[in-house]
Amino acid sequence: MTEFFEGPQGRRIAYHQLDGQGPGVVFLGGFRSDMTGTKAMALEAWAQRKGRAFLRLDYSGHGQSSGVFEDGGIGDWFEDAAALIEAVTEGPQVLVGSSMGGWIALLLARRMPGRIAGMVTIAAAPDFTEQGFWSSFDEAQRARLMQDGKLALASDYSDEPYVITRRLIVDGRDHLVMRQPLSLPFPVRFLQGTADEDVPMQWALDLLHHAEGDDLRLALVKGADHRFSSDDCLALIEQSVAEVLDRIG
């Protein structure tokens, strides 16, 4: 059953939670995704079979949560996740971050190091507003974005274009993780498809090189795209979460 949490900023966050043994598993979705996606639902089914505590959520402006997507930014969605985890979970958690959710997972590790016991990322996209969107815009697009406050881009996942806002870019710059030390002192498994056209494989290699920790591993899946939702990819996600939990002990 979907529940709702009133965050400290007044945003109403939709979430679904399973009771079970800890450490709990928290799924963090991607940009413009919701908590009913294939990976979230498959991982919840896995957690239910294992009797594992599990949490998935919609950031504000996503899915069933309140707010307008175009009004939000990385900082808002990070704060949504942080407030919800603090409010409804107990003890250490393993974060599973998909795409933008990988960036948010890294921010959470920095914010609440005592609560994060492990991490799995799937095509993690840290700093994507800067190294993805902004760096790909030409001068005319940058000028239009800064002057008009928004820029419409074609989407590979919808007939409707999606809008990049000036606030998204500016707010993203306040939450960059690849330009300062990044400590991940727990088991981490980075997963990445070699055929991902949204998150370059080089980003995964850069993240592995940049992060500091004693138990960091990167798995590359040849031919997997950004969705990372084939049966084999879903099985790898489950195996990676199980491995992280086993390493925690």
Query: Domain ranges in the chain?
Result: 3-127+177-248
- Dig out the tokens for 244 from the structure: 């992280």
pLDDT at 202 over 90: yes
pLDDT at 188 over 80: yes
Q: How many residues does the chain have?
A: 249
- Dig out the tokens for 219 from the structure: 């798995």
Could you tell me the sign of the dihedral formed by the alpha carbons of 74, 114, 87, 119, in that order?
Answer: positive
Which pLDDT score is estimated for 153? 84
Q: pLDDT digit string (tens) for 131-155?
A: 999 999 999 999 999 999 999 887 7
Domain 3-127+177-248 has CATH 3.40.50.1820: yes
pLDDT at 161 over 90: no
Average pLDDT over residues 51-73: 95
Which pLDDT score is estimated for 160? 77
Average pLDDT over residues 186-215: 97
Average pLDDT over residues 39-56: 98
Strand, helix or coil for residue 52: strand
Which pLDDT score is estimated for 34? 95
Q: How far, in whole angstroms, is CA 112 from its chain's centroid? A: 16
pLDDT at 216 over 80: yes
State the Cα–Cα distance between residues 218 and 48, nearest whole angstrom.
26
Strand, helix or coil for residue 131: helix
Average pLDDT over residues 224-242: 97
Average pLDDT over residues 83-94: 97
Strand, helix or coil for residue 102: helix
- Read off φ and ψ for residue 220, nearest 5 degrees: -100, 130
